[in-house]
A and B are shown apart, each in its own frame.
Chain A
Amino acid sequence: MLEKINGVKYWALIGSALLLSACANTDGEVLDATPVEPAVETQEPVVAEPTEDVTSETLMEDMDTQESLDAASEASLIYFGYDRYDLSSDARTGLQAQASWLQAHSSVKVTVEGHCDERGTREYNLALGDRRANSVKNYLVALGIDPSRIHTVSYGKERPAVTGTGATSWSMNRRGYTRVN
C-alpha cells in the first residue's frame, strides 16, 4: 500500500499541472482508482510544460484528506459483531491499511468514532462505543502509530450510518470510523 501511494505521489508530481487544471476537484479519486493510465496518457505534454508554479506542498496537503484515507482503507470503516468490540480479520486488514496511510501522512491526526446499533440501551451503548473506539486505537498504536495522533470518541447509538430495522441495518451501524481531523 505504501509503495502504491508513493507511486501515486510521483505521478501526481509530474502530472500535476494538468491534473490540477483538469481534475482539481477530484484529485483523490483519480489518483487512487487508476493511478497509472491517465498519467501515462498525459506524460508528454506535462513534461513539456514548466512545473515550477505548482508546488508539491499543495499536493501533499491534498493527500491529507478524508477522501484519501477513505480510498486507501475501505472508507475508513471497520465493523463489529453484536455487543462485541474485538477486531475481526476483516477489521484488522482495514486497520492495517489505515496504519499504512497514517504512517505515510505523519502530520495527520485522526478521531476514531465508536458506534453501536440501536439494540442496546443508550448508556450501555456509550460505554460499548468507547470500547470499540479504543479497540481501533489500540490496534493502530500496536501498528506503530503515535497514540497522541488518535483521539477517541463514542457516539453510542446516537449517529447510525443507516436507518432501518433488521440485521443488515444494525450490522452497518456497529462500526468504528476513523475521521481525519
Chain B
Amino acid sequence: MRFFKLLMLAVTGLVVTLGAAQARIVVDVNRGHADPLPIAIANLLGNENDIISGGSVKSYGERIALVVKADLTRSGLFRVVDNSAFIKSGNPLTNLRNPKFNNWKAIGAQALMNGSIALQEDGRLKVEFRLWDVLGSNQMTGLRYFTSPKNWRRIAHLMSDAIYKRLTGESGYFDTRVVYISESGPATARIKRLAIMDQDGHNHVFLTNGKNLVLTPRFSPTAQEITYLSYHDDNPRVYLYNIDSGKQEILGDFPGMTFAPRFSPDGNKVIMSQAYKGNSDIYVMELSTRKIQRLTKHTAIDTSPSYSPDSRYVTFNSDRGGSQQIYVMDATGKNIKRISFGKGRYSTPVWSPRGDLIAFTRQYGGKFYIGVMRPDGSGERLLSESYLDEGPTWAPNGRVIMFFRQQPYDKQGRGGDVQLWTVDLTGYNERQMITPLDGSDPAWSPLIR
C-alpha cells in the first residue's frame, strides 16, 4: 500500500506561461459531444538511448501521449487526430516552441499538444508539454512536471486535466481513482472484493481477498480512506479502510447492522444508517471522538444519506411517504422535505460535488434509470436506462457520472453480468469501464492532491 503514498508525493507541476494568449477555441461541455474538438496529440520527444526500467525515455513519451489521447477521447468532447496524418517537416525540437500551424490546420486539428520528456541525473523524469490554439497561432497553456518514472501515468492524467480545463473551462477529472466492488462467481454465491483503480481502469489493485462480503465503498475527501460495509459472521457493519496502511477497523459499536456509509465533505464524519430491530434510521459519527448523533427517528426505512458539499444539508432515501422517495433535511436532522415526486421509486441520492444537482436511481415501469434533479426537486433529467442501472457516483468536476449496470438473464440462464459505466451529465457519451472481473458499487475519488 506504500505504493499509493509514493504516487501522492512524487508529482510536482510548474506552470510555463510563455506567451499564453486569449483562447479562441472553447469546448462547450454541454454541446461538445455533437461536435467534438479535433485535437492533435504529438508524441513527447525523448531520447531513444536513455533506458529506464520499462523502456526508453522516448517510449515513455509515446505512452504518455497515448494515455492523454485515451483520456480526451473518453470524455467525448474531443476527436483525436490520427498521428499518421501528421505532416513532418522542419526540426522537431524547434517545432516544440514554434509549431508550423499551417501544417496542423491542413489536417484539420484545431488544437495541438506537443512536448518533451527527459531523464534527469537524479533518476526522475522531466516532462513538459504545451497546448496550442492552431487557428489563433497561440500557446494556450504549458506545464512542466518532475516525477519518478513509475508515476508516468499520473503525469499523463495531469496533462489531460490541464488540457481539459484550458479548453472547457471546467476542472478535469482524469487524475482520479475509483474504488468499487469486484464481483465473481455465481449470483447465488457471489464473491465480492474491494478493489481500486485509476479512472481509466489501470493500476488495478484488489484490497480484500473475498472471504468477507463487502459492499458500497466510498472515498474520504483526501482519497486515502474508504468507508464500506463488510460482513463478519453474519454481522454487517460499517468499516474504515486506510489505503496507506491497509488497516481495517470497525466504526462504532452499534447493536444493529450499520450500512450505507458516506464521508462528510470535510472528512471528519461518517454518515450512515443503522438497522435496529427492523427499523433503519440515519446516524452520524464524528471520527475523532466516535461520538454518535441520531438524525432521523421514524418507523420508515431511512437510508443512503449524502451530504451537500457545504455540509449544511443531507439528502437521503426514505419510504416514509409509502414508497421510496428522496428527501432533503438540515444536517441536524430538522426540516425534512420530500423532493422527488415523479412516478415510481427514487433511491440512492448523491449530491454533486458542485452542489447544484442530486443524482439518483429511479425505478419505473420495470426499468431502472440514473437521473439528476436540483436539490429542490426541480429539473429532473434521466441520463441512462436499462434493466438495472444503480448507484451513481460523481466525477469530482460534477460533469460525469459512473454507475453500475446489471444485465438480465435469458431463458438459458445466461446473463446477469454487472459492469461499471459512465455517462455525461448531458446524457451522452455512455461508456463501459473495463474491469478485470464484474464490477459494482463504484465510488469516484476527489482529484488527487
B-binding residues in A (CB < 8 A): 83, 85, 111, 113, 118-124, 126-128, 130-131, 133-135, 138, 151, 153-154, 158-165, 169
Contact residues of B between 192 and 243, Cβ < 8 Å to A? 192, 213, 215-216, 229, 234-236
Chain A CB within 8 A of B317 CB: yes
Q: Is the CB of B215 within 8 A of A158?
A: yes
Q: Is the CB of B347 within 8 A of A123?
A: yes
Q: Is the CB of B408 within 8 A of A165?
A: yes
The 8 Å CB contact of B188, one of A122, A124, A128, A160, is A160
Q: Is the interface of B mostly helix, strand, loop or mixed?
A: strand
- Counting chain B residues whose Cβ lies within 8 A of the other chain, the interface size class is 35 or more
Chain A residues with Cβ under 8 A from B192's Cβ?
158
Chain B residues with Cβ under 8 A from A161's Cβ?
188
Q: Is the CB of B301 within 8 A of A122?
A: no
Interface locus among B7-15, B39-47, B89-97, B275-283? B275-283
Interface locus among B107-115, B164-172, B386-394? B386-394
Could you tell me the distance in whole angstroms from the C-beta of B424 to the nearest C-beta in chain A?
22
Could you tell me the distance in whole angstroms from the C-beta of A81 to the nearest C-beta in chain B?
14
Q: What 10 pairs across the A-B complex have the smallest Cβ distances?
A: A134-B278, A130-B275, A127-B280, A165-B408, A127-B301, A153-B234, A123-B260, A121-B347, A165-B409, A163-B187
Chain A CB within 8 A of B379 CB: no
What are some 27 contacts across the A-B interface (CB < 8 A)? A83-B323, A113-B234, A120-B345, A121-B361, A123-B259, A123-B273, A123-B303, A124-B324, A124-B347, A126-B259, A126-B260, A127-B303, A130-B275, A131-B301, A134-B277, A138-B278, A153-B236, A153-B257, A158-B192, A159-B188, A159-B189, A163-B187, A163-B188, A163-B413, A165-B408, A165-B409, A165-B415
Q: Is the interface of A mostly helix, strand, loop or mixed?
A: mixed
Q: Is the CB of A158 within 8 A of B213?
A: yes
Q: Is the CB of B234 within 8 A of A126?
A: no
Chain A residues with Cβ under 8 A from B213's Cβ?
158
A-binding residues in B (CB < 8 A): 186-190, 192, 213, 215-216, 229, 234-236, 256-257, 259-260, 273, 275, 277-280, 301, 303-304, 317, 319, 323-324, 345, 347-348, 361, 363, 387-388, 390-391, 406, 408-410, 413, 415-416, 441
Closest to A181 in B: B234
Chain A residues with Cβ under 8 A from B301's Cβ?
124, 127-128, 131
Could you tell me the distance in whole angstroms from the C-beta of B343 to the nearest C-beta in chain A?
15
The 8 Å CB contact of B304, one of A123, A134, A154, A158, is A123
Chain B residues with Cβ under 8 A from A131's Cβ?
275, 278-279, 301
Known: A121-B348, A165-B415. Is A153-B235 also a contact (CB below 8 A)? yes
Cα A131 to Cα B363 in complex, Å, equals 21
Q: Is the CB of A122 within 8 A of B257?
A: no
Cα A158 to Cα B441 in complex, Å, equals 13
Q: Is the CB of B388 within 8 A of A118?
A: yes
Closest to B192 in A: A158
